[in-house]
């Protein structure tokens, strides 16, 4: 009753405007406060109505323990054709002898062309490499692999890595071992840089088409967004500043803060090497917008063409640009065929980023036995030289063979010089010129031809019909089989 009285007063014209609005406001405020208090232990989304349940049932509440929303979205099965394809291959892999009707893997950029060389080296050097020679009582031997090590990598390995990078990324560049941070693969290297350069809600510009794994590495845990800057087949898929600028302005308009550009060189999935001039332009652009550049150069040693590879590090050495904003990612998975070793490199010119990355390697360190092994491997310069040369020769052979087969099919492709893959234009084979048509073809390739290639849409390509085909997991004898299988689909149309 008492509550109604002042309202009555208002109705009868005796109250004021203030009371008339304040009282109901206060009422609803308290009501909401009350409701909120009683509901707060559970997010509304989490357990509606369960508030009182668990109190009564002692052990074994019926309310399920929910995982975080970020984990929920990660745990969901993937719909991206890139991962679906990889998954399908792992369940039914092609094998000449055991499973000749299995799926042939063209979706994984893994280098199996030079395993014989690695094996040979390991057989000769394995014992000494890991626990010291002959197993004498020298305490450094085993202690070196089982004790606490600096998490960002042993200094010896960094030294060896620096000279290896000089060999691969450019003879003229000298890499400073103290600017190297070693991580458990290039994947965490990219993620750590993303954590270091951007806050949740910020964005990175990525020239598209780009490697599908970046979506996971850059966005999953960091809360950062990737904004594609579309490159076109007409420009030969070389990133243009106008595309970057457009992406930058779009982000701006949406209130997104752009913190950097992420490029891959040689580009993945196209295999193009960035021309010197483009790199200059990119650096100018970054400087003008005051943003960072991450350059993923993991395929730098897997060059099969005659073009010259130019590392970002080389351009920086000329001294024209502010180095603080440049970070290079490298790894041994591709160029040294050691994907299983999980060794990645962050090479940053920014001291703060280095200091932070060193701390963050506590979550992604390379284990000591592997490091020991790699110190021996990388210090064996004559082996490394022989390996790099043979590797290049074999990649070129495979590329020529594969491209030859593709030509026979009458299908176009992008002439490239780097990487373990070929970027093929199958738009002539798709029924409708759209993403849907492309995915139909992908499905046919996977299920009818039993070939797993990565469709362009998984790489955020805006032109439909492109496919990335990795040829380095095949042997030469497999190529005719692959071509024959693709031909079957091509002729179905």
Partner 1 sequence: MTRTRHSRSRSPDPEEDSKPTTSSSSSSGGGTAMRVIVPLQGVVQGRGGLVLGSVIPCALFYFLQLYLKRNRSRKPPPPSPSSSAEHLPEVPGLQRTLSRAHLSPRGPGGPAHVSGRVNAILRSGDSPDSVGEKKYLEDTYDERSNPDGVIQLGLAENKVGLDLVRNWMVENGRGVMLGDELSISGITNYQPFDGLMELKVAVAKFMSQAVEGAVSFNPSQIVLTTGASAAIEMLSFCIADAGNAFLVPTPYNPSFDCDLKWRSGVEIIPAPCRSADGFSLSVTALDRAFSQAKKRGVKVRGIVISNPSDPVGSLPNREALYSLLDFATEKNIHIICNEVFVGSTHGEGFLSMAEVAESEDFDRSRVHIVYSLSEDLSLVGFNVGVVYSFNQNVVAAAKKLVRFSSISSPTQRVLVSLLTDTRFTQNFIRISRERLRKMCMGFIEGLKQLGIECMTGSGGSYCWADMSGLIRSYSEKGELELWDKLLNTAKIKVTPGSICHCIEPGWFRFCFTALTDKDVPLVMERLQKVAETCKSRS
Position among 202, 278, 376, 452 found at the interface with partner 1 (CB under 8 A): 202
Strands 180-183 and 258-264, how do they pair?
unpaired
User: Which of positions 317-336 make contact with partner 1 (CB under 8 A)?
Assistant: 322, 324-325, 333
Could you give the CA distance from residue 310 to residue 231 in angstroms, rounded to a whole number?
20
Site string for partner 1, 65-104 (x = CB under 8 A): x-xxxxxx-xx-----------------------------
Q: Is 136 left (phi over 0), alpha (psi -120 to 50) or beta?
A: beta
- Interhelix angle 381-408/478-492, rounded to 10 degrees, is 30
- DSSP letters spanning 122-146: HHHHHHHHHH-GGG-S-THHHHHHH
Rounded CA Rg of the chain: 28
Among 11, 155, 448, 492, interactor with partner 1 by CB under 8 A: 11
Instruction: State which of positions 170-189 bind partner 1 (CB under 8 A).
Output: 184-185, 187-188
Q: Does 471 engage in binding with partner 1 (CB under 8 A)?
A: no
**With CB under 8 A as the contact rule, which of the stretches 9-17, 301-309, 382-390, 419-427 interacts with partner 1?**
9-17
Chain positions 277 to 306 lying near partner 1, rule: CB under 8 A, are: 287-292
Handedness of CA 450, 454, 457, 461 (dihedral sign): negative
Question: Phi and psi (nearest 5°) for 21?
Answer: -100, -30
Catalytic annotation present for 211: yes
Q: In the complex with partner 1, which residue's Cβ is closer, 142 or 414? A: 142
Residue 40: left if φ>0, alpha if ψ -120 to 50, beta else—which one?
Answer: alpha
CB of 51 to partner 1, least distance (A): 9
Within 97-156, which residues bind partner 1 (CB under 8 A)?
Answer: 108, 110, 112, 115, 118-119, 122-123, 126-127, 130-131, 135, 141-149
CA dist 272 and 355 (Å) reads: 33
201 counts as binding partner 1 under rule CB under 8 A: yes
DSSP 303: B
Residue 296 annotated to the active site: yes
Using the minimum distance from each CB to partner 1, give the nearer residue, 346 or 406: 346
Catalytic residue among 82, 145, 210, 211: 211
Find the binding residues for partner 1 in span 248-277 (CB under 8 A): 254-255, 257, 259
Q: Does 487 bind partner 1 (CB under 8 A)?
A: no
* Least distance in angstroms from the C-beta of 320 to partner 1: 12
Cβ neighbours of residue 93 closer than 8 Å, sequence gap 6 or more: 99, 102, 103, 105
Residue positions counted in the chain: 493
Chain-centre distance for alpha carbon 231: 19
Asked if 24 touches partner 1 (CB under 8 A), the answer is yes
Which letter does DSSP use for residue 257 in this model?
P
The nearest distance, CB 182 to partner 1, in angstroms, is 11
33 forms part of the interface with partner 1 (CB under 8 A)? no
Question: Contact letters (x/-) for partner 1, 203-242, by CB under 8 A?
Answer: -------------xx--xxxx-------------------
Query: In the bound complex, what is the minimum distance in angstroms from residue 483's beta carbon to partner 1?
Result: 24
Q: Is the peptide bond before 176 cis (omega within 30 degrees of 0)?
A: no
- 3-state secondary structure at position 362: helix
Rounded CA separation 126/130 (Å): 6
* Shorter beta-carbon distance to partner 1: residue 355 or 492: 355
Q: How far is CA 215 from CA 15, 77, 198, in A?
A: 61, 15, 15
Tell me: does residue 367 bind partner 1 (CB under 8 A): yes
- Position 432 contacts partner 1 (CB under 8 A): no
Q: Cα–Cα distance between 238 and 275 in angstroms, integer?
A: 8
* Among the listed residues 5, 28, 155, 484, the single contact to partner 1 using CB under 8 A: 28
Between 101 and 123, name the residue whose CB sits nearer to partner 1: 123
Q: How far apart are CA 94 and CA 244, in angstroms?
A: 41
Active site residue: 104, 263, 294, 296, which one? 296
Single out the catalytic residue among 272, 334, 444, 450: 334
From candidates 95, 176, 199, 277, binder to partner 1 by CB under 8 A? 199
Min dist. Cβ of residue 397 to partner 1 (A): 20
Q: What is the DSSP letter of 434?
A: S
Binding residue (CB under 8 A) for partner 1 from 179, 230, 334, 342 = 342
Residues carrying an active site annotation: 211, 296, 298, 334
């Amino acid at each position: 009753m008492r509550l109604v009285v002042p309202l009555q007063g208002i109705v009868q014209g005796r109250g004021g405007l203030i009371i008339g609005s304040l009282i109901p406001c206060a009422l609803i405020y308290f009501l909401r406060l009350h409701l909120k208090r009683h509901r707060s232990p559970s997010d509304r989304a989490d357990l509606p109505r369960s508030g009182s349940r668990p109190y009564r049932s002692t052990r074994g509440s019926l309310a399920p323990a929910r995982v975080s929303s970020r984990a929920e979205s990660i745990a969901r099965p993937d719909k991206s054709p890139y991962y679906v394809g990889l998954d399908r291959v792992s369940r039914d892999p092609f094998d000449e002898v055991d499973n000749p009707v299995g799926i042939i893997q063209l979706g994984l950029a893994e280098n199996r062309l030079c395993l014989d060389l690695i094996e040979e080296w390991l057989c000769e050097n394995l014992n000494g490499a890991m626990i010291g020679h002959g197993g004498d009582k020298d305490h450094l031997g085993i202690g070196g692999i089982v004790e606490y090590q600096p998490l960002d990598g042993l200094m010896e390995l960094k030294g060896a890595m620096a000279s290896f990078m000089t060999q691969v990324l450019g003879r003229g560049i000298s890499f400073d071992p103290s600017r190297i941070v070693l991580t458990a693969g290039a994947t965490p290297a990219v993620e750590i840089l993303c954590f270091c350069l951007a806050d949740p809600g910020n964005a990175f510009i990525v020239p598209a088409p780009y490697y599908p794994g970046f979506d996971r590495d850059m966005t999953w845990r960091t809360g950062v967004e990737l904004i594609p800057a579309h490159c076109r087949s007409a420009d030969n898929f070389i990133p243009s500043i106008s595309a970057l600028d457009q992406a930058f302005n779009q982000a701006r308009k949406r209130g997104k803060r752009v913190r950097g550009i992420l490029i891959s060189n040689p580009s993945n999935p196209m295999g193009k090497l960035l021309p010197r001039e483009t790199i200059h332009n990119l650096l100018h652009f970054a400087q003008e917008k005051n943003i960072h550049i991450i350059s993923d150069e993991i395929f730098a040693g897997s060059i099969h063409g005659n073009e010259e590879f130019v590392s970002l590090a080389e351009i920086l050495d000329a001294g024209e640009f502010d180095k603080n904003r440049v970070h290079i990612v490298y790894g041994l998975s591709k160029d040294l065929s050691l994907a299983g070793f999980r060794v990645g490199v962050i090479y940053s010119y920014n001291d703060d980023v280095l200091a932070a990355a060193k701390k963050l390697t506590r979550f992604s360190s390379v284990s000591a036995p592997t490091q020991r092994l790699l110190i021996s491997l990388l210090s064996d310069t004559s082996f490394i030289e022989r390996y790099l040369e043979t590797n290049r020769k074999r990649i070129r052979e495979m590329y020529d063979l594969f491209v030859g087969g593709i030509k026979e099919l009458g299908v176009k492709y992008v002439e490239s010089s780097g990487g373990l893959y070929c970027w093929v234009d199958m738009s002539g084979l798709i029924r409708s010129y759209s993403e849907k048509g492309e995915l139909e073809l992908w499905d046919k390739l996977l299920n009818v031809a039993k070939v797993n290639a990565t469709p362009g849409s998984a790489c955020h390509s805006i032109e439909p019909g492109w496919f990335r085909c990795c040829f380095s997991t095949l042997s030469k004898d497999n190529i005719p089989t692959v071509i024959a299988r693709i031909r079957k689909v091509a002729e179905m149309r």
